[in-house]
A and B are shown apart, each in its own frame.
Chain A
Amino acid sequence: MTHLLAADGVRFGHRLDLRLLVLLVPVIMAVMFLADFRGQTTPPDVNVFFDPPDPVAEAQMREQQLAEWHQGLVAIVPTYAFPASLLKVASNIWPLVLLAIYLSTALVAGEFEWGTMRTVHLTSSRGRTLGVRVVFIAGPMGVAVVVALVLGAVMPFFLSVEGTSLQGFARPVSDLAPQVAARMAVILPFIGIPVLMAILSRSTGLAFVLTLLFFFADLMVTALPLWRDSLLGWLPSMTVTGSISRVMGAGDPSMPGLVPAWVSFVAMIGWAAAAVVLAIARLQHTDLND
């Protein structure tokens, strides 16, 4: 397996576009973190005008609104300070999701487009080859995640809120590592399902579109109102997008039928694994004419 992984390194390690993407995505995540931070910590423009004009009351109202904003700020600012900043960065996963979909479709469907899938028999079985490719895709994703987390750990030390260092607001976060890990695991369905689409379509572009359509359809099913107040109330937190939302912390725990987050986590991992297993089975039972 290590030889096959190393071979994948030779295959794709030279691709400048992949290297750039893997570095660009964490930078985008860092920019999103900074923009979010600036948006939250920049004092709002409070424009209060009474009719007829009452400068004293207007000033009081402005002060009151700024005080409320300050009160909210006290609760929000610690979430941007290290170590909570890691959780904040890990919550903005959309750039990572897009990277995962692109890598999974390009590195699997590309083999059909180049015709190199026809050489699969020279090195290993089809199932093993695809399994190794999935592991290989996790490599650059891991690099992007680590770079993003490093940026998330470093940035708070260079930020300040109204003249006070951001780290002055730092608070310990309980279960930080499991929470970050759970958010990062959300990427797995965005590897497994695009790999399945790549095997089915044998085209990078088509696989990308099919993946987006799949998630859109899944989202629609998850959002259907008919699940509410029915025996299938658990279903919206067990679909692919539903389980991801639940793992990311969405959902009112008092909502009837809402399953525990760990159940959704297992469902999410199950979806990712099932997609890879289906992709392997499909590849093993398909003719390689192209």
Chain B
Amino acid sequence: MTLTIEATGLRKRYGSVAALDGLDLTVEQGQVVGLLGPNGAGKTTALRILLGLVAPDAGSVTIDGAPVSRDWVAGERVGAMVSSPVFYPHLSGADNLRVLATAWGWPRDRMQARVAAALALVDLTGAGGRSARGYSTGMRQRLGIALALLADPPILILDEPVNGLDPAGIVEIRDLLISLAGSGRTILISSHLLTEVERTCDHVTIVDRGRIVASGTPDSLAGGGHRIELRLDVSSAPTARRVLEAAGFGVAESPVAGELWVTGAPDGATVSRLLADAGCYPDELVRRRDSLEDVFLRLTGATS
């Protein structure tokens, strides 16, 4: 198995704050990995270290077997957008792409073709000739992604790629990422948008306080865990709660009045029988599988 990105024991402190505290991360070739975490979890610091922009206090990074340091050159193999998209404001979107292509020494015809293709991928063809200074937040985000995609790189590292995009833009970029993932690229996406990660990534790593707290496929992370959601008459809720807790199940009140979330019950039938025996008849009983959001909140909430 080829390891495309491998980070081992990354530690980084900013003053008294530990941004990373022994983070290990492996991204295999062709994987689309989502790096999830609350704000300040260390995601961006991790990506900066992966790209050699920041040196870790301890630990090491290799990309395609080559050690990454501050003087590492990604070249055309790694497309990246870390933190906010960066560009020369006095240049047009297309010229910003041409800067990179010229530095790589591309011939004119390849440059023209790839610049046009990258702009088209992010729906900036019509605005490519305009000064980037006047771009909206969403257009800047698209330009940042176009810069990352310019060389059609086999490895993509993107930090919050849908930040600032409107719902239609989010769908477009999500579809783009899914199509890129389908073409065998290795992609590492950092985000706090759980739905986007769940839909785009085949592997998820959850980071909190600079450490990995969970890692796996979205399904395996959810782990087959579930809860029973009950909707009852408000007056019946206390009785139902008492009965279910007496049976050893966990019961929590949802934000909706008269709704209870039951954990630890083997199935809906058991819950239904216990409630019927106590004279409680729920209006609605649903068995709901844990989502990535549930796992994320449970893991990061428990440590925050």
Contact = CB atoms under 8 A, between A and B. Distances in A.
Interface string B49-90: 001111100000000000000111111001010111011111
A4 interface: yes
A288 B53 contact: yes
Given A121-B52, A124-B103, A11 B91 contact: yes
Nearest to A285: B70
B100 interface: yes
Contacts of B102: 3, 6-7, 9-10
Contacts of B89: 114
A127 B71 contact: yes
Interface string A266-283: 000000000000000000
B209 interface: no
A11 B88 contact: yes
A182 to B, nearest CB: 34
A64 interface: no
B100 A123 contact: yes
B94 to A, nearest CB: 11
B186 to A, nearest CB: 17
Nearest to B51: A121
B155 interface: no
B54 A289 contact: yes
Interface string A228-272: 000000000000000000000000000000000000000000000
Interface in A111-141: 114-116, 118-119, 121-127
Nearest to A287: B54
Given A114-B88, A121-B73, A122-B75, A287 B53 contact: yes
Given A7-B102, A125-B71, A288 B91 contact: no
B73 A123 contact: yes
A121 B89 CA distance: 20
A126 B102 CA distance: 17
Nearest to A290: B83
A11 B104 CA distance: 14
Contacts of A114: 86-89
Contacts of A14: 90-91, 95
B147 A119 contact: yes
Nearest to A119: B86
B54 A126 contact: no
B103 A123 contact: yes
B241 interface: no
Contacts of A126: 70-71
B171 interface: no
Given A118-B82, A121-B74, A287 B55 contact: yes
A284 interface: yes
B140 to A, nearest CB: 11
B83 A118 contact: yes
A271 B175 CA distance: 55
Given A3-B104, A7-B100, A121-B73, A288 B48 contact: yes
Nearest to B76: A122
A10 B95 contact: yes
A7 B102 CA distance: 5
B301 interface: no
Contacts of A286: 70
A289 B72 CA distance: 16
A278 B88 CA distance: 26
B14 to A, nearest CB: 9
Contacts of B147: 119
B178 interface: no
A126 B51 CA distance: 13
Interface centre among A14, A116, A119, A285 (most CB of B within 10 A): A119
Contact of A289 (B53, B71, B84, B98): B53
Contact of B103 (A7, A125, A288): A7
Given A10-B95, A11-B88, A121 B72 contact: yes
A141 to B, nearest CB: 20
A15 B105 CA distance: 22
B163 to A, nearest CB: 15
B48 A289 contact: yes
Nearest to A7: B103
Interface of B: 48, 51-55, 70-75, 78, 80, 82-84, 86-91, 95, 98-100, 102-105, 147
Given A7-B99, A10-B99, A284-B71, 8 more contacts: A6-B103, A10-B91, A10-B98, A118-B53, A123-B75, A123-B103, A288-B54, A289-B53
23 contacts: A3-B102, A6-B103, A7-B99, A7-B103, A10-B95, A11-B88, A11-B99, A14-B90, A14-B95, A118-B53, A119-B86, A119-B100, A121-B51, A121-B73, A121-B74, A122-B73, A122-B75, A122-B103, A123-B100, A127-B71, A284-B70, A284-B71, A287-B53
